[in-house]
Chains A and B, each alone.
Chain A
Amino acid sequence: MAIKRRDLLKLGGLTLIGTAASAAVGGVYTKPQEALKGSRWALAIDVVKCKENRATCGLKCVEVCHSLHNVPSIPDKKKEIKWIWEEKFEHAFPEHEANHYLNEKLHDTPFLLLCNHCDNPPCVRVCPTKATFKREDGIVMMDYHRCIGCRFCMAACPYGARSFNWIDPRPFIAKVNPEYPSRMKGVVEKCTLCYERIAEGKIPACVEACPAKAIVFGDLRNPNDEINKILKERLAVRRKEELTTYPSVFYLIG
């Protein structure tokens, strides 16, 4: 008995469906209930408070961030890795050097620098593998699984917020956090605004660690958020505004 073309096609269709079904769809994915909800996370760093307490704080923000995220401390400056670090005003805002009066006021003032989680991130635009991308809540994320180490993002970032792993970082991690991965040689890394803590309903580690409470974390798009009140009341600047990257890190200088 010859099989009809119609039946053959039907059988073919059934086989396809069967194959797809046997590829066994797993469970479903959702957001944790306790996760913080926001549509553009931002930080406001109170430079005045930061300067006042700098002598006693011991740079807790940097210490906690780096130990929590297994950031190595490599003594060679050319190979160092940093997610958040301290810089003086004249280095953080070199474009203001010509402004003698501002420079006089703020010279030597410590500024905490980190990834600005720009609204218009140049690193994301240049990444050829989409290893770095902007999440819907404004965090500029890193997917290390996809990073090929081309360093385009480092060339594109106007803030020097990205570090490349020139060597295996593991020997330089003194105390490991077993709950967080390290990175490997050949990938670029940076601050991810503690996305893993936000998913657990916690604020970023640097914000929590600061003994002077000089860093405020909040959602710019939420008009009732504390950060919006602070930014309205105080005088806030962002780094290299002229580049129209629209950073999410604000420095309260007055």
Chain B
Amino acid sequence: MYNAGKVIIFIVVLILFFTIPMWLNLGRVEAIPKPELPKDKAKCIESKEYMRAYHMKLLDDWRKQAIRENKHVYVAKDGEKYFISLQKTCMKCHNNKEKFCDSCHNFVVTHQDCWSCHIAPEVAEKWQ
């Protein structure tokens, strides 16, 4: 390889450059979001692991089933029945969108557009 020394140095510099976010956040544990869970509830409609992995799929299915299929009740895996509604069901327990949804979503920079129409509890409160 010609100019092996320079090339290798440049490769290392490039790798360092592209991993800047990792280095900047190294050791900063406080950056990891801790969404505030409802205090008086032991469980969500499904298991914690399921909700973590599939809440977006679940919400999308809820929309499809309630709006398009006219099926307004969700029967969870444990047999419990829930009325499908973001504002009337989800947000009754998770009553602070900023502390629950936004804490993670801002961290991973995935901005949901739910709230351009759906009204978060704290927004409704300020409105009145």
Using CB atoms and an 8 Å cutoff, list the residues of chain A in contact with chain B.
24, 26-32, 35, 70, 133, 135-137, 141, 143-145, 173, 175-176, 178-184, 195-196, 199-200
* A76–B74 alpha-carbon span in the complex (Å): 41
A135 touches B70 (CB 8 A): yes
Contact sample, A vs B, 6 pairs, CB 8 Å cutoff: A26-B76, A26-B77, A27-B76, A135-B70, A176-B119, A183-B117
Q: Which residue of B lies closest to A169 (CB)?
A: B117
A34 nearest CB across to chain B (Å): 10
**A contacts with B: majority SS:** loop
Q: Which residues of A contact B86 (CB under 8 A)?
A: 181
* A27–B58 alpha-carbon span in the complex (Å): 9
Type the 1/0 row for B62-85, where 1 means its CB is closer than 8 Å to any CB of A.
010111111111111100000111
A179 touches B87 (CB 8 A): yes
Using CB atoms and an 8 Å cutoff, list the residues of chain B in contact with chain A.
45-46, 50, 53-54, 57-58, 61, 63, 65-77, 83-88, 116-119, 121, 124-125, 127-128
* A133–B83 alpha-carbon span in the complex (Å): 22
* A178–B120 alpha-carbon span in the complex (Å): 8
* Other-chain residue from A30, A32, A178, A199 in contact with B119 (beta carbon distance below 8 A): A178
A199 touches B46 (CB 8 A): no
Q: Which residues of A contact B67 (CB under 8 A)?
A: 141, 143, 145
A26 touches B61 (CB 8 A): yes
A140 nearest CB across to chain B (Å): 13
A35 touches B46 (CB 8 A): no
* A181–B119 alpha-carbon span in the complex (Å): 6
A199 touches B117 (CB 8 A): no
Q: Which residues of A contact B77 (CB under 8 A)?
A: 26-27
A116 nearest CB across to chain B (Å): 20
- Which 10 pairs show the lowest CB-CB distances between chains A and B? A178-B124, A29-B71, A199-B72, A184-B116, A29-B65, A181-B117, A176-B127, A27-B76, A181-B118, A27-B75
Q: Which residue of B lies closest to A30 (CB)?
A: B73
User: Are A176 and B128 CB-contacts (below 8 A) given A24-B50, A26-B50, A195-B70?
Assistant: yes
B120 nearest CB across to chain A (Å): 9
* A196–B77 alpha-carbon span in the complex (Å): 24
* Other-chain residue from B65, B71, B87, B128 in contact with A180 (beta carbon distance below 8 A): B87
A26 touches B68 (CB 8 A): no
Most B CB contacts (10 A, CB to CB) among A35, A141, A176 go to A176
* A199–B73 alpha-carbon span in the complex (Å): 9
Q: Which residues of B contact A176 (CB under 8 A)?
A: 119, 124, 127-128
User: Are A26 and B46 CB-contacts (below 8 A) given A32-B83, A178-B124, A180-B87?
Assistant: yes
A175 touches B46 (CB 8 A): no
Q: Which residues of A contact B124 (CB under 8 A)?
A: 176, 178
* A135–B116 alpha-carbon span in the complex (Å): 25
B54 touches A35 (CB 8 A): no
Q: Which residue of B lies closest to A130 (CB)?
A: B68
A127 nearest CB across to chain B (Å): 13
B92 nearest CB across to chain A (Å): 10
B87 touches A181 (CB 8 A): yes
* A148–B53 alpha-carbon span in the complex (Å): 29
B76 touches A31 (CB 8 A): no
Q: Which residues of B contact A144 (CB under 8 A)?
A: 117
Q: Which residue of A lies closest to B86 (CB)?
A: A181
